[in-house]
Amino acid sequence: MRVRVEQTALPGIGMRHDLVTESGHRLGVVSHRNGRRDLVLYDPDDPDSCQADIPLTDDEAEALADILGASLMLGQLSGLREQAAGLLTEQIAIPAGSKYVNRRLGDTKARTRTSASIVAVLRRGEVIVSPDPTFRFDAGDVVVVVGTRQGLDGVSEILADSDPDG
Amino acid sequence: MHETTTLLIEVGALLFLLGLLGRLGRRIGLSPIPLYLLAGLVFGHGGVLPLAASEEFFAVGAEIGVILLLVMLGLEYSAGELVGNLRSAAPAGLIDGVLNALPGAAFALLLGWNWVAAVVLAGITWVSSSGVIAKVLADLGRLGNRETPVVLSVLVIEDLAMALYLPLLTAVLAGTGLLGGGIALAVAVGTVLLVLVVAIRYGHLISSALSAKDPEALLLGVLGLTLLVAGVAAKLQVSAAVGAFLVGIALSGPVAHHATEMLSPLRDLFAAVFFLFFGLVTDPRDIPPVLLPALGLAVVTMGTKTLTGYLAARRVGIKEPGRWRAGLALVPRGEFSIVIAGLAVAAGSVEPRLAALATAYVLITVVTGPMLARLPDFAWFKQWLRQRAARQRMEAAVTATTD
């Protein structure tokens, strides 16, 4: 992590983490012992005091972390879908009988054949962003594809292609 | 049978009243402590409507209240936090002790009271109320503020200091003399250090003996252990309160977490009983003559507390507004001051007016303290700070040019 996060113990309450953003704002999180978390934003005129103190429940904190974290990628893609006409995203599951189960992403030659790109793979609740050609598929993986309608259908067909040996 | 019926009616009516008062307090943004004390004054000796049948019940309840207040305080901290905090916050704690304990002691001597009363009053003016302050900080949304760790560490040091002060006070009140007092202090210091070491090294073993999974067993286990240790500590003249505090420190992890959740309602009940009881045994007719001295003492020690917080915050590089916030936040005195006064009154060897003075003093600081804590948020206060800073800059510039 290139950002310096300061950690301060709050005896009897919990822990505070804070950081200064590149734009000069200080923001932090107060983690209470009982699991409650407060998002705090510091006052630019008086950097010792917080301007806002926003209590977050577990679910809200998790949702916020998700938004700020990896799945932001997916969020941006769905925004893109609305902006650029003709460009679509789709989530395609790899069926158990697919011949690409346990084979590398590069082997599908999906981009060359359909000009649609595989931008992420969802595996057991985790997001793998920008998998490289050596990435190995598993049955049950869901790939996120960006492309034209035709391209998406093409990738769908390639991945559904069942293993002749299996 | 008749006695028990009266007891039920009195206890029930008083608890119900406390419930209403607590609700009223929250409505107007006031800590319930002063309201409970006032209720005690009204229904106690010499009050408007003295109640007699339930006094014994409230006496025992008050005892348990002190023990629960202290064990919960201990549960809030881990031994590591206490010790880790000690080195960095010790200077602030020292300033705190000197600036706030000495005025109390001097005041008692000024009133012509004996030195035992001076030791008691020193404690009463020294300790801020952790409970009230933590609540005020949360209410004002200041938990994230950068001066807040300073305020909290002063409170931690005070709590640790109490672990040494209370046994000493117990010895002084028992009148064991210089040698006895010295031995009592040595025993106290030894016990506290031993418990801290054991808690850091083997705290997890003590905690694992009490399973966090079975709520009933945990409640009975923790409560039983606390009362037992508190009782043994009292027998050894180390003060029951300190014994309870140390049990709280020794417990850690999920056991401490669950115990906090389960003991909180009990603590709320018995702590209310404790404040009520202190009011009950204080004769309100004693208060008017000590009202002026109490007011004077309150003004002086609220000033010294503000200075304490200001200096402590300045030490760690907090800017001017934050220093004022830290200082004014520390003003309220509360449960500990009453605990100390309660010990003194129970021992019966000090100036009888002390209880009245302590009540008036705590009433004043605990009501005005949370209001004073809001001062730095007002626009005119910020304006005043800005003008002050501008004037200081100008003066500095003037001296620089004349040099």
Q: What is the pLDDT of residues B163-212, one digit of tens each?
A: 888 888 888 887 766 777 777 778 777 877 887 788 778 777 777 777 77
Q: Is residue B196 part of a domain?
A: yes
Q: Is residue B3 part of a domain?
A: no
> Mean pLDDT for chain B?
86
Which pLDDT tens digit goes with each residue over B98-125?
A: 999 999 999 999 998 888 899 999 999 9
Dump the DSSP string for B297-310.
HHHHHHHHHHHHHH
User: What is the ipTM metric for this complex?
Assistant: 0.72
**What's the number of domains chain B is made of?**
1
Q: Can you give the pLDDT at residue B64?
A: 93
Contacts of B143 in chain A (CB under 8 A): 10, 13, 16, 30, 38, 40, 53
Q: Can you give the pLDDT at residue A79?
A: 56
Q: Can you give the pLDDT at residue A166?
A: 44
Give the one of B141, B149, B321 whose C-beta lies nearest to A8's C-beta. B149
Asked whether the predicted pLDDT for residue A159 surpasses 90, the reply is no
For chain A, the residues whose C-beta falls within 8 A of a C-beta of chain B are 8-13, 16, 18, 28, 30, 33-34, 38, 40, 42, 46-50, 52-53
Q: Is residue B53 part of a domain?
A: no
The CA radius of gyration of chain A, in Å to the nearest whole number, is: 22
Q: Can you give the pLDDT at residue B54?
A: 78
Contacts of A46 in chain B (CB under 8 A): 319, 321-322
**Most A CBs within 10 Å, among B148, B315, B318, to test the A interface:** B148
Return the exposure string of B144-168: e unless at least 16 CB atoms fall within 10 Å of the residue's CB, then b. bbbbbbbbbbbbbbbbbbbbbbbbb
Asked whether the predicted pLDDT for residue B93 surpasses 60, the reply is yes
Q: Can you give the pLDDT at residue B224?
A: 93
Contacts of B318 in chain A (CB under 8 A): 48
Which pLDDT tens digit goes with each residue over B257-293?
A: 888 888 989 998 999 999 999 888 888 888 899 999 9
Contacts of B142 in chain A (CB under 8 A): 49-50, 53
Distance of CA A28 to the CA centre of its chain: 22
How far is A115 from B121, CA to CA, in rounded Å? 83
SS3 A120: strand
Q: Is residue B278 part of a domain?
A: yes
Q: Can you give the pLDDT at residue B90?
A: 87
**CATH for B374:** 1.20.1530.20
Q: Is residue B4 part of a domain?
A: no
Q: Are strands A14-20 and A6-10 parallel, antiparallel or unpaired?
A: antiparallel
Please tell me the pTM assigned to this model: 0.75
Q: Is residue B308 part of a domain?
A: yes
Show Cβ contacts of residue B94 under 8 Å, excluding neighbours closer than 6 positions: none
The domain in which residue B171 lies consists of: 62-388
Asked whether the predicted pLDDT for residue A80 surpasses 60, the reply is no
Q: Is residue B403 part of a domain?
A: no
Task: Answer whether A48 sits within 8 Å of B134, measured CB to CB.
Answer: no
Q: Is residue B228 part of a domain?
A: yes
Which pLDDT tens digit goes with each residue over B313-369?
A: 999 889 989 999 999 999 999 888 998 998 888 887 787 888 899 999 999 998 899
| The two three-digit tokens of residue B274, written as one number | 């404790």
A81: confidence class by pLDDT, cuts 50, 70, 90: low
